[in-house]
Amino acid sequence: MTSSPDHSPFTSAPSGDGPRTGVVLSHGFTGSPHGLRAWAQAFAAAGFAVRMPLLPGHGTNWQELARTRWQQWHGALDDAYLELEAECDHVFAAGLSMGGALALRVAATRPVAGVVLVNPALVIDDPRAPLAGILKLVLKSTPAIANDILKEGMDEGAYARTPVAAAHEMNKMFRDTIRLLPRITAPVQVYKSTVDHVVSDASIAVLRRRLASVPVDVVRLDNSYHVATMDHDAERIFEGSVQFIRRVLAAGAAPAAGSQELHHEQA
């Protein structure tokens, strides 16, 4: 019998020798920490401090998500970053899907040492997306985008419906985040599934174009769908992202100290 999804946040303290290193980690749209818990545990096992919050409107019901704004999602992850900054020498940002966009926002507004993304979303491919601000007045929700996982028997515990109002908020956040991307100076590692039924390569194209001045390493995953952190390539992601962080640290990552948030435009 499949156990119930664990939507609770994840927190760990730094351990081991060397510089105190933190990872702020974000789940995706309509999901929860459940889908990334094994990844967070892998970071903790490597000795890194981890903060993975439950984003506002998530882990309860889609109606609550429909009442939230994208600034609340960013604020939750930014607060988690500040917690790590207070106790760590270096902080990395990581995320899945929409959580990848939020990790990029943190990297654009805080001095992160590096960024790790899994199937990051910056573009909503649905042609109805530009009309979401109007559609939300007459259409409250659409079918779920959850559980795009090749591995059998896996359940990310996401909502059964997608609130249109929240999708509109996400689209606004994507536009504002794309504007900020050139401010990122840290190296970026991306894990991208060859087959992804939720996020197309259009998001990767935007990422490459807007991050032309920083190294972007894209690793293709041939045996996973969108929620790759729960799929066949999960261990490859976990091991590879830990190695990426250690390589960046060995190369001399700048310390996360004295950061100031850059103001974003209200969308």
Q: Which residues are catalytic?
A: 97, 196, 226
The reply, when asked if residue 98 is annotated as ligand binding, is yes
Query: 256: how many CB neighbours lie within 10 A of its CB?
Result: 22
At position 48, the amino acid (one-letter code) is F
Burial 216-239, CB ≥16 within 10 A → b, else e: beeeebeebbbbbbbbbbbebbbe
Secondary structure string (H, E, C) spanning 118-133: ECCCCCCCCCCHHHHH
CA 99/CA 29 separation, integer angstroms: 7
Whether 170 has a binding-site annotation, put simply, is no
Provide the strand spans (E) within 17-127.
Answer: 21-26, 49-52, 90-96, 114-118
Question: What's the farthest any 2 CA atoms get from each other in the chain?
Answer: 56
**Known binding-site residue numbers for substrate:** 29, 98
